[in-house]
Every structure is written in C-alpha cells, then in structure tokens.
Structure 1
Amino acid sequence: MPEDPRTRNGRTRRDTLKYGSTLVGGTILAGCVSGTGQGDTNEDEGVNASPESESYSVSMEPVGEVEFDRIPERWVAYDGGYADMAVALGQADGITGIGHAPRYYTYVYDELPGVTVDREQIEAYPEVRTKEEFYELDNDVHLYDPQVLINWFDWNDEDIDEIASNVAPFIGNLIFRRSDGWHDYRYYTLYEAFEKIAEVFQQQERYEAFEELHSEFIASIQTRLPPAEERPRVLLTYNGNEEPETFSPYRLIDNGTSKKQWLDLGVEDELAGTGVENLSTANRGKLDYENLLEVDPNVILIRGHDRKSPAEFRDTVLAYMQDHPVGSELTAVQNGRVYRGGYLNQGPIHNLFLTERAAKQMYPEEFGDVTDDTELFDRQRVADIVTGEF
C-alpha cells in the first residue's frame, strides 16, 4: 500500500469525487435511495447537473446518488460487461485493472479499426478485489456493485465506506443474472446500465449513438426470424471443461443481461416447467447426461468456452459428447447443435458480436453458418462511435 494512500497532489479523492446522500452512519444503505424491485423507476434518477458548476451526480442502485466534481479519468470495473461499456464510451485509455480478467473478452476489439485496450495493464491487475489494490490503483471511479464485494469477497459496509471516502466512489449493479437472493434492489437492463455509465463519463452522445445502432440492428434481425412455433428450444448451461460430465443450468426466464441475445432471438427455454432453478450464489445444482436426456433439447449452449473458435469447440467439447455413451443419445448432439453459450458478462460492443453469432447458431439457413464471415452489423460504424468519429 502506498505510504499515504489517501492523498494525491495534496487533495483527497473525497475532495473531488464523492458520494452524495447514500453514506449514512458510515454504511451504504443498499436500495434505500431509489426503492427496491426489478421494475422500479424513479423520476430523480439520472444526471443532476448544476448550472453553477461543473459538478454533477448520477443515481444508480444500490449506492444511490453519487456526486462527481469532475469527469473520471482512471477507472476499474469488476466485470467485462462494465469494462466494455467504458470502452464503448471512448474511455479505454483509463482502465487500470479488472475484477475478473478471464471473463473480459477483449479480442472482439480486433475487428474494430482504431479500438484497442491495454491487455498488459489488465493482466497486471487481473483480480482487483482487495482494499490494498484499490488504494494502489488510485482510481477516479470504481465500476463495481459494492454488494458483490460484500457477498462474494467478505467485505463489509465499513470497507466499502473506507474506499469510497479515501479513494473514489463505487457505482454499478450486478445485472448479468437475477437469481441471487441478496440482490433485493432494482435490476437494470443492459442499456439502462450503459446509460448510467455514460452519465458517469459524461458521454451521453456516444450512448445515444450506440442505442440507435443497437435498436436498428436488433430490429433488422427480428424481422428475419421464423414464426415462434418454428424457433428452437434451447438448454443454456455452463461447464468450462473440454470433457463435460455435468452442467450448471442457466434459465432464460431469468432475464439477466447474459441472456440478452437469446431473448432477443426469441428462443424458448427447454427447462420451462421442470422446476430446475437458475444458477445463483445459493444454488449450485448441476445436471448430468441422464437429466439432459429427460428433456432432450433441440440445441445445447455451453458457456465457459468463449476463447475457443467454433472449430476448436466442435473438436473438443462436441467430439467428447458425441463419444459419450449417454451424451451421444441427445438429439442436439446427434444433430451437431451444441454451441458456445456466450459470455456471462457482456457490454454493448460484446452484445453486437454475440447477437450476430447467436443468430447464426439458431438460424443458419437465414443468417449463415457460424463459421462463415457474414457480418450482420457494421464494424466501422461501431468503431466510429468509440473513436468519436460519428
């Protein structure tokens, strides 16, 4: 830890970037500012800029209102979804680390001219989860849901208060799934959360450009979908092994952002009506091949393999399942319809690529095979937004 972690240039971070009304009695009152519940809205959420100064505030649960006296430059995100939001907003140069590097897929930026992220910096700080690291990195904002640190990494309210007061505020909301019992405050859709991060960095024009592009892209995909009765029923699971024996279930009815592409493509959950619960902090149940055979899905989607190409996935995971005495009986395996299931944490750029991939996986006769080079959205247009040339 630095000798004097609370100061830089003679000023504390509390002087320039600070919480508003959510710090009461030294603790964060999660969910108290904007109400609770998945569908809650609040008229005072958003940016409350003061015409007399450059300060502004952003309101997002669970921390509530966060006040900024200047636009953040240095930042760290817990997951790849929020990191991708910052990159989409032209803030790639400010990244100092990540909370979980293996799930931040930066290779997608290789297809966007002029868009790069310093992977060396990320690998230097690939799991930013300790107070010492927060002090050392000395960021201007932490794109973390603080309840993740409390519920997954044994922090407490006093730890959150300390870092928010002495280094920089937290702002973020765990949105990739909606099955954790401790998350009893409002959830956000991908673009609702993205809009909040745009307010943090005062990049509303970039956000609006992305929102327009995204709406046009999704609409163009959905107009080409077959009737609902002809769409596949899928089983979304997780197993990162090349020789999977059990599978963690991800329910599409969960509505978390990690399922966005599947929901936009209108596929149905093969586990509907089975009573199988979604993977969560409390539920770590798994399905074996006999369980899968009972529902016998048309398509199986397996997460944990998104650093493999489609060919590598087929040569390892699918090949193992085809040779498995029970797995080989599954309809999806026999038809070769076992695919990579997409990222757990996705931001707006990720989502464009994942939706394109998923459209090909689900409807190859309409959108082309997942291994071909057909592009369903304009890479240059995305790059222009990120680089400010829109």
Structure 2
Amino acid sequence: METTRQFDRSRRAFVATGIAAGSGALAGCLGGDSGSESGRDSYTVSMAPMGEIPFDAVPENAFVSFTQYADMAVALGHGDAVRTLFAPEMSGTTMNGFYERLEGVSFDWEGLKNPLEGGVTKEQLYSAESDVHFLDPSYVLTTQPEWDESDIEEIADTVGPWVGSYHSGVHSDPAETYADSYEYYTLWELFENVAAVFRERDRYEALAEVYDETRSQIESALPPERERPTVARVTLDADNGVFYAYHLNTPGFWQAETRPLGARDALADVAWSGDWGEISYETMLEADPDVILHLWGITSRYAIGDIRARLAADAAGSELTAVRNDRVFASGMRYQGPLMNLFQLEMTAKQLYPEQFGEWPGSEPGEPYPAIPTDERLFDRRRVATIVTDGVE
C-alpha cells in the first residue's frame, strides 16, 4: 500500500546477511519466490505509516514489541529472529500453550526482555542493533513524550526500520505526524506485511487459506442472530471492583476472534474514549450478559476459577446471568498473531455456540490448549504445523 510519506535512507545495511534456505524450522526456510539467492537481494515493503521500507536482506535480529509480531515470526518460520517481547513470560507461555497442539512448533521465550518496560529509548535501540523494529512509530510518538519525528527518522536511518500498526487494534487515532498517511489493517493484512518483511509470501498464503476456510466454516454454521447470546468481553480488576471492557464487533484486530462470530455485544451501547473502557459492577448488571469472556483469561496471569469465585462472591456479580449459568470463560490475548487467532477463534466459537461447534472443555492456568477431539476441531493442526515447520513447496 502506498502512502504519502517516504523516508530518505542513506545508512548502513539494514541487516547483515541473508538466511540460508535450509537453516531449520524456526530459523526459516525461504518459501516460494524468496529463495536462497533472493534473500540476499535488496527489496522494499510498502506499509503505512512508514511508507516504502527498504531491506538489504531478510532480518535475522528483530526487535519485537507486542505478541502478535512474535506469533507472526513463528508462523513464518523465523521465530528465532525474535530478540525482545512484551511481557515475555506471559506471552511466551501462552504462545507455547497453543503451539503444544502443533507438532514441531515451539517458541524459546526465556531470556527475552520486555522492550516496553520502563519506556522505549534511543539508547536501548542503538544497543540492540536490531535489523527491524516491529513497533509502530506512531505508538512511540503517542506514548513516549521525549520522542519526536526526528528521533523516529534517526533510528530508521541509522539502526533499522520500523514496521507496525498499533492503532489498527481498535482504529484509534494515530500521532499527528501520521494523521494523513495512516491506514488501518486487519490482523491478516498486518500478517501479510510482516510476511513481506521476511519474504515468506507462500507461507502467508497457505495459512491465510486455512483461516479463510475456518472462518467460512464457522460463519456458515452460526445460528440466526436472534438466537445468539449477549456477550461481555471484559477483564476483572477484582481489587478495585471494576472491569476493563472491550467491544466484540467493532473494527480492529483486537476483535479478530470475536467479530467473525457475530454475537450480540452486551456493552454495545456503553461508550469510552480510550482503547478500552472501565465499567462498574452496576453497569455489568444492567447489561447482564449471557456470556462473559474474560480477556487474558487463558494466560498465566489469571486463573479462571479464581475469577469465577470473585464474581460469585460479589453481591452484584453473583446476580449476573453468566455467573449463575456458569458461562464465564477464559478468553485469549488481544495481541494475537495468525496462529493464536486460529486457536482463539476455535475456542471462542465453542464457548459461545457449543451446540454448533462442540463444548469448550475448559482450560487451566499453565496448561496447554486443551486436546480437542479430531472430529470437533475447526481447523487442521497437522496442516498448519507442516506449513510452519516445512514451508510450502
């Protein structure tokens, strides 16, 4: 996609050397039109708000912010390029919880540092010497007050390019610098751009085909809208008696596992100005959803049994229909890449529509994604694992 902004780059090579085609599953076999020779050729990736992003070779050292980019790297066979990660223990164990069901796929997160802890600094980026920064420069400008546009350009020109689209999460407003050049991407469009960075078009297309088939299968089996449950997607802050709330069906890749399911958003009429809202028990009781999806519930940070107990112990919470009917479920991460999205889409479909897609067996903190019987799976694990580990011929 073209944008009105392009950076003039006269700098060192963005990355050191190309990746050999046979460097292993996570190191990445170059698929399709990439090949071992083209991996050493210069190329460009076009993406808003960065514009035309030149590369001299496929990145081997990636500064990764949010989990979706790590999941994308793994999906493309380049998981070992990831050198940093948001909340590494939570993110890494959650990713591997899903990958447990994909033979031969895993992610080595131990030892990775959280690049956002304490803020992003130029010194940090110079020290890391990353070939690519999977972080939206607009996010940096809107969250790091000491940064300005010249700093963004300096890092891109002298260290490595930026690749990211944070505001596509909920279609929030970008930094003023990018107001005229910003574009919003779906999860799978963002994945397509990351695939272009790693020159893994064939892997992207193969996984996108799995996703399209899975989504079509789900959408064709959904009950009529009037028969669908009302759903609240929230995270309980039990200590303060509030819920952090998210919508189900609004644009943005944070809703990538709920929007295709077309459930009725119990909080559709509740507005907030930020990326998420903060609501009370009283507001929840007024909405009284049939189902509560507890975002982040499948991660190691929460135990869904404790969440249910806390809700049941509260005077208002105990009156919620979802609590009384035992329909409070551990939901996934909003920072989801393509592999996570396939599992989270399957998981949520079962939680909302057990009659159509089979009962959700539940999950436990620290345990892998549950073993779903073969005839109740909504996508082919072996097919996905083969794409990731072996590439596409």
Alpha-carbon displacement from aligned partner over 1:301-354 (angstroms, at most 9, x marks no partner): 2223322599x40x2011111121111111111111112232121110000110
Aligned partner of 1:38 in structure 2 is: none
TM-score after normalising by structure 1: 0.80
Find the residue that maps to 1:261 and give its secondary structure.
coil
Question: Gapped runs of 5+ residues in structure 1?
Answer: 1-11, 19-46
Distance 1:120 1:336, change over 3 A: same
Structure 2 CA distance, aligned partners of 1:75 and 1:85?
Answer: 12
Letter in 2 for 1:160: I
By how many angstroms is 1:54 displaced? Answer: 2.2
For residues 265 and 322 of structure 1, do their structure 2 counterparts lie closer, same or farther at Cα, with a shift above 3 Å needed? same
Query: Which residue in 2 is equivalent to 1:90?
Result: 77
List aligned pairs for 1:159-178, cutoff 5 A.
Answer: 159-174=151-166, 175-178=168-171
The sequence identity of aligned pairs, in percent, is: 39
- What RMSD, in angstroms, separates the aligned Cα atoms of the two structures? 2.6
Paired residues in the alignment total 340
Contact 1:13 1:168 in 2 (8 A): no
Report 1:91-106 matches (<5 A). Answer: 91-101=78-88, 102-103=90-91, 105-106=94-95
Structure 1 SS opposite 2:154: helix
Task: Return the offset for 1:57.
Answer: 0.9
Q: 1:380–1:221: structure 2 CA closer, same or farther, 3 Å change rule?
A: same
Whole-Å separation in 1 of the counterparts to 2:351 and 2:240: 20
Deviation at 1:163, TM superposition (A): 1.4
The 1:385–1:140 alpha-carbon spacing in structure 2 relative to 1, beyond 3 Å, is same
Q: TM-score, normalised by structure 2?
A: 0.79
Cα deviation 1:188-208 (Å, max 9, x = unaligned): 001111111111111000001
Q: CA deviation at 1:286?
A: 1.7
- Structure 1 residue 366 displacement after superposition: 2.4
Is 1:58–2:45 an aligned residue pair?
yes
What is the CA-CA distance between 1:106 and the residue it aligns to?
A: 2.0
CA distances 1:44-71 after superposition (whole Å, capped 9, x unpaired): xxx9xxx9x9221111111111111222
Q: Distance in 2 between matches of 1:275 and 1:243?
A: 23
Whether 2:245 is the aligned partner of 1:258: answer no
Separation in 2, partners of 1:156, 1:165: 15
Give the corresponding residue for 1:306: 298
CA shift in 2, pair 1:384/1:298, >3 Å: same
CA distance in structure 1 between the aligned counterparts of 2:83 and 2:174, rounded to whole angstroms: 31
Contact 2:250 2:259 in 1 (8 A): no
Cα distance in 2 for residues equivalent to 1:353 and 1:193: 18
Q: CA deviation at 1:244?
A: 6.5
The residue that corresponds to 1:33 in the other structure is none
Cα distance in structure 2, aligned partners of 1:379 and 1:262: 21
The verdict on how the C-alpha distance between 1:198 and 1:296 changes in structure 2, with shifts beyond 3 A counting, is: same
SS of residue paired to 1:247: strand
CA contact (8 A) 2:139 2:174 kept: no
Unaligned runs of 5+ in 2: 1-8, 16-33, 363-370
Distance (whole Å) between structure 1 residues aligned to residue 99 and residue 116 of structure 2: 19
- 1:358: Cα distance to partner? 0.2
Query: Do the aligned residues in 2 keep the contact of 1:250 with 1:278 (CA within 8 Å)?
Result: no
Query: Closer, same or farther in 2 for the Cα pair 1:180/1:247, shift >3 Å?
Result: farther
Distance 1:291 1:238 in 2: 14
Listed as ranges, the matches of 1:196-215 within 5 Å are: 196-215=193-212
Distance 1:288 1:134, change over 3 A: same
SS of corresponding position for 2:204: helix
Q: What secondary structure sits across from 2:77 in the alignment?
A: coil
Matches within 5 A, 1:209-248: 209-239=206-236, 241=237, 245-248=241-244
* Match status 1:147 vs 2:134: no
Cα-to-partner distance string for 1:350-383 (whole Å, 9 max, x where unaligned): 0011011101110122222222632322222111
Question: Are residues 275 and 95 of structure 1, via their aligned partners in 2, closer, same or farther at CA, if it must alter by over 3 Å?
Answer: closer
Deviation at 1:159, TM superposition (A): 2.0
CA offset at residue 234 of structure 1? 1.0
The SS at the match of 1:317 is helix
Aligned to 1:179: 172
Mapped to 2, the partners of 1:351 and 1:212 lie a distance apart of 14
Q: Which residue of 1 aligns with 2:111?
A: 121
| Superposition deviation, residue 125 in structure 1 | 5.9
Residue 339 of structure 1: aligned partner: 329
Residue 191 of structure 1: aligned partner: 188
* Distance apart, 1:111 and its partner CA: 2.1
Deviation string, structure 1 residues 175-234 (Cα, Å, up to 9, x no partner): 222234648421100111111111111100000101111111111222222122111121
